[in-house]
Amino acid sequence: MERLFLFIYQRRAFFTFLALEFFCFWLIVQHNQYQGSKFFNSSNAVVASLNNFSQSVRDYFLLRDVNTTLAEENATLRQQIEHYNQRLQVLDTLSQSDSVLVSRFDFVSAKVVNNQVYRFKNFITINKGEDAGIKPGMAVISPLGAVGKVKIVSDHYSVVTSILNIDIMVSASLKRTGHFGTIKWEGHDPGTINLMYIPPHVNPVIGDTVITSGYNAIFPEGIMIGTVSNIQKNPEALFYDLEVKLSQDFGKLWYLTVVKSELKHEQDSLEQIILDKEP
């Protein structure tokens, strides 16, 4: 403290000069309308810039919470849409005296914590597991389209088999014609996937939308997969070889939605009865 006082005393002339300068500046601003308005306009602009900068910094550090909230809202909205569509479908076919409607799907939002794109067998890790009701075999989607299926789960994490995996196949259909086939990745371009088993009388065209068919009780019907980008057919082949440009860029996965099919077990059990009875 003594050194501080000594420093101020030694430079008292300079500090006196600064004090007088500020006092004169204050007198000019206070007693001259033009200078006063200019000062306050300039000071307001500086303060506004500082406030915008500080708010931008706060918004940046809050992005994680905002993204989490939006992902949870997306999952809730998907669930509400599914419930609404289910009611409409049943009300179109059933009378008022029928039993209570049962929703086919439920949705859980999750964050991607690890992602593979350039291997032949790619997997994605998400931060939700058994504690959120997730089980192997459940479908995983993003706001832009189908992503994959849950392979294994722990208490707090799940590993998803990406559709960019040469071992996974998903039932899909051409939205324009309604004809269904199977999508399968060949292990080359992570931006495209193949649609197989489309018969020659269908006449697909470039730009046709490819969606999930809903035939396997895992993926809801109508989930976007991509658009047809290339069409090839060998004259001796029985089916088209369609290349589909994926709607989801798998290098930009952040938040996903796990689809919990409430009726999958019932469908699988019924179909297994038929398979067991076959000779």
pLDDT of residue 176: 93
Answer whether residue 155 is part of any domain: yes
Answer whether residue 128 is part of any domain: yes
| Other beta carbons within 10 Å of 236 | 5
pLDDT of residue 100: 36
pLDDT of residue 279: 56
CB 251 within 8 A of CB 200: no
Q: Three-state DSSP class for 176?
A: coil
Is the pTM value of this prediction over 0.85? no
E strands present in 127-166 = 139-142, 145-153, 158-165
Answer whether residue 203 is part of any domain: yes
**Cα Rg for the chain, rounded, in angstroms?**
31
Any residues with CB less than 8 A from the CB of 71 and at least 6 apart, and which? 109, 110, 111, 255, 257
Q: What is the pLDDT along the chain (279 residues), one digit of tens a residue?
A: 677 777 777 777 877 877 877 777 777 767 776 655 665 556 656 655 666 666 667 666 667 777 776 777 777 777 667 666 655 554 454 444 344 334 567 888 888 999 999 999 999 999 999 999 999 999 999 888 999 999 999 999 999 999 999 999 999 999 999 999 999 999 999 999 999 999 988 989 999 999 999 887 678 888 999 999 999 887 777 888 899 999 999 998 888 999 887 665 556 555 566 656 665
Answer whether residue 27 is part of any domain: no
Q: How far apart are CA 157 and CA 142, in angstroms?
A: 17
pLDDT of residue 268: 56
Answer whether residue 88 is part of any domain: no
Instruction: CATH number of the domain at 227, please.
Output: 2.40.10.340
Task: Note down the domain range covering 182.
Answer: 104-263
Q: Give the number of domains in the chain.
A: 1
pLDDT of residue 182: 94
φ and ψ of 78, to 5 deg: -60, -40
Closest by alpha carbon to 165, among 179, 184, 180? 184
Answer whether residue 210 is part of any domain: yes
Answer whether residue 255 is part of any domain: yes
pLDDT of residue 68: 74
Answer whether residue 187 is part of any domain: yes
Any residues with CB less than 8 A from the CB of 224 and at least 6 apart, and which? 144, 145, 146, 209, 210, 211, 247
